[in-house]
Amino acid sequence: MSQSESVVPRIGIHDLALATSHYALPLTALADHHGIDPAKFTVGIGQDVMSVLGPDEDIVTMAAEATSRIIERNGTDGIRTLLFATESGIDQSKSAGVYVHQLVGLPQQVRVVELKQACYSATAALQFAVGLIARDPSQKVLVVASDVARYDLGSSGESTQGAAAAAMLVQADPALLTVENPAGVFTEDVMDFWRPNYRSTALVDGKGSIRAYLNAIGGAWEDYRAQGGASLEDFAAICYHQPFTKMASKAHRHLAVLSGANPTPDEVAAYLADTMRYNRVIGNSYTASVYVALASLLDHHEGDLTGARVGLASYGSGSVAEFFGGVVQPGYREHLRVAEHTAMIDSRVMLDHTAYEVLHKTTLPEDGREYLTARETARPYRFAGLGDHQRRYERTLG
């Protein structure tokens, strides 16, 4: 058989592991502090708890934990690329993925690069990984998304904060989900959400961001359909980017209307419920969000999804969106991490508002002087501090 006649292998997500922070804040505590009804958060935006980073945690420590779980199960054979997706970058030059590479003990024969486009770039990384593997099916790619969503105290975005990492092993003949063609894409230059270099918190046009999200997801969906993609009723579930879970509900209703349907709010809630369980108690995780939703669906869906088509609707402010489908693989349940993910989320230490505010106001020095972080996290990796303008990381003991 010639190369042009060779069969393209099934390529997709073989393993998926999540990580989050040591601390968390119940949104009831935030509501009490501001003197408002907690239902504004628990019902209005569909969020219950948000993960909060300790002083010795960041995107690298979460990413290293999630990636180490992948390596513990699968080893490093065949891994030739690590693509790190984030919009919470820690350096203008060095990829955060290089720190992860060292912490988890990957071989030197691995290319590492960081990708950025708001909350979208993990999906770009996944598609790039599929392309690399199509060229050489013996290779495997680590796609790692890690972010902390952080807004000003008292701002409208404060209740939509969160933090998490999602690490995926992408390869031929995957155990969890194959990635299908086509993919619908959409880009538009809008200022709905952005974070200039001189700010540690983002700027958001709240109503404008909702409009931009729906417009971009709708544009990606229409491009997907124009390329011969499946119809809405062909999807057993769709995982949406979730800056807050009610946003996914708005997005799904928008696609339904574009497709000529008119679902009730209860029908939308039931359709999306399993994709939202982790995001409701973690909060917004930017690039990781849609893959946190995928893990939530696979971990919680009671019926057998084998052979089912699952949609992924990815959005990044500014704005870029993509819609594509995947097929759940036979035996996928044997490769899930339900107990691991549940224990990780349940083990977080709940903060009161005072402790949360102290953490939020803690900032790193910007002059490169020696700075040691307080040892607080119980996670396997920690950010130890700064010195000579360099970030330092270490494995925790025990």
Give tens-digit pLDDT for 275-327.
999 999 999 999 999 999 999 999 999 999 999 999 999 999 999 999 999 99
Q: What is the DSSP track for 269-329?
A: HHHHHHHHHHHHHHB--GGGHHHHHHHHHHHH--S--TT-EEEEEEEETTTEEEEEEEEEP
Domains for the chain: give ranges and CATH numbers: 3-395 (3.40.47.10)
Please name the amino acid found at residue 91.
D
Phi, psi of 113, deg, nearest 5: -150, 150
116 is in an annotated binding site: no
87 labelled catalytic: yes
Helices and strands (H, E) in the chain, number of each type: 11, 17
Determine the pLDDT at residue 6.
60
Which sign does the torsion angle of CA 258, 265, 280, 46 carry?
Answer: positive
Determine the pLDDT at residue 202.
82
Residue with tokens 């819609």: 323
Set 14, 101, 241, 341: catalytic member: 241
Question: pLDDT 10s per residue in the chain (398 long)?
Answer: 444 446 778 999 999 999 999 999 999 999 999 999 999 999 999 999 999 999 999 999 999 999 999 999 999 999 999 999 999 999 999 999 999 999 999 999 999 999 999 999 999 999 999 999 999 999 999 999 999 999 999 998 999 999 999 999 999 999 999 999 999 999 999 999 888 988 888 888 878 889 999 999 999 999 999 999 999 999 999 999 999 999 999 999 999 999 999 999 999 999 999 999 999 999 999 999 999 999 999 999 999 999 999 999 999 999 999 999 999 999 999 999 999 999 999 999 999 999 999 999 998 998 888 999 999 999 999 999 999 999 999 999 64
250 is in an annotated binding site: yes
Set 119, 180, 239, 252: catalytic member: 119
388 is in an annotated binding site: no
393 is in an annotated binding site: no
Cα–Cα dist 13/18, whole Å: 14
Set 57, 87, 114, 158: catalytic member: 87
Q: What is the DSSP track for 348-360?
A: SEEPPHHHHHHHH
Determine the pLDDT at residue 307.
98
33 labelled catalytic: no
241 labelled catalytic: yes
Determine the pLDDT at residue 285.
98
- Strands annotated E in the chain: 11-20, 23-26, 49-52, 79-85, 111-115, 140-149, 162-172, 177-187, 193-194, 203-204, 237-240, 309-316, 320-328, 349-350, 371-372, 381-387, 390-395
Determine the pLDDT at residue 248.
97
Determine the pLDDT at residue 203.
84
Determine the pLDDT at residue 3.
47
Cis status of the peptide bond prior to 259, with omega within 30 of 0: no
Determine the pLDDT at residue 212.
95
With 0.95 as the threshold, say if the pTM is over it.
yes
